[in-house]
Amino acid sequence: MPNPQQGASAGSLMGHFDPHLSQLIIDEEASSSITLVLRQLLRDSQAISGMVLDRAGQIIVWDGLGYEGARMQLGALIAGTYASTREVARILEESGFRSLLQEGSKEKIFTEAIGDQWLVSVIFGRHTHLGLVKVLCSRATVDLSQILARTVERSKARPKLRDAGLMRIAHDTIDLIFREESEK
């Protein structure tokens, strides 16, 4: 049975996201706190690397080794895979799947939801026990959820570009820079 809150168009899938998140500012304090939690998770689970990302695939924090040239793609693909998993849950009339496991011959990726807006994803090898990763990830999501909730509240309290009158100044500056040479 289709979800009555979900519209018929493909664009309505984005309806689950908070529009304020596109303007979310992750300050140094939040980034450091997220990094500490993620680093502890990787150390305790003996994972190779991991990331905290939003559901659009934007990596907030990456920690660990490898994938220097492919991190952005990994973030987008993991978020996309998680989104398709949520859609499978909807079709099965489940309230949702909170985690996702991808297993390869050498490495595994475990992804878990942090609230409704973010994901934590851990990349680990054959030597790391999946059960340990799941338990530690679950614990980390509690801390990460609190950090990110505080970040959202601080971000909402910051003045918006429009509110500060900077939008007009920006437009005037652009006009001055790009006006015709004959007008100068």
The per-residue pLDDT for 27 is 84
> For 3-42, what is each residue's pLDDT tens digit?
333 333 333 333 344 444 456 778 889 999 999 999 999 9
What is the three-class DSSP state of 30? helix
Its domain, for residue 88, covers: 24-159
Residue 71 is assigned to a structural domain of this protein: yes
Residue 50 is assigned to a structural domain of this protein: yes
Residue 92 scores a pLDDT above 50: yes
Element (DSSP H or E) covering residue 78: helix 71-91
Residue 174 is assigned to a structural domain of this protein: no
Mean pLDDT of 42-65: 94
Among residues 71, 68, 89, which one has the least CA distance to residue 79? 71
Residue 183 is assigned to a structural domain of this protein: no
The per-residue pLDDT for 6 is 38
CATH of residue 138's domain is: 3.30.450.30
Pairwise CA distance, residues 55 & 172, whole Å? 35
Domain count, the chain: 1
The per-residue pLDDT for 26 is 83
Q: Which two tokens stand for residue 178?
A: 């790009």
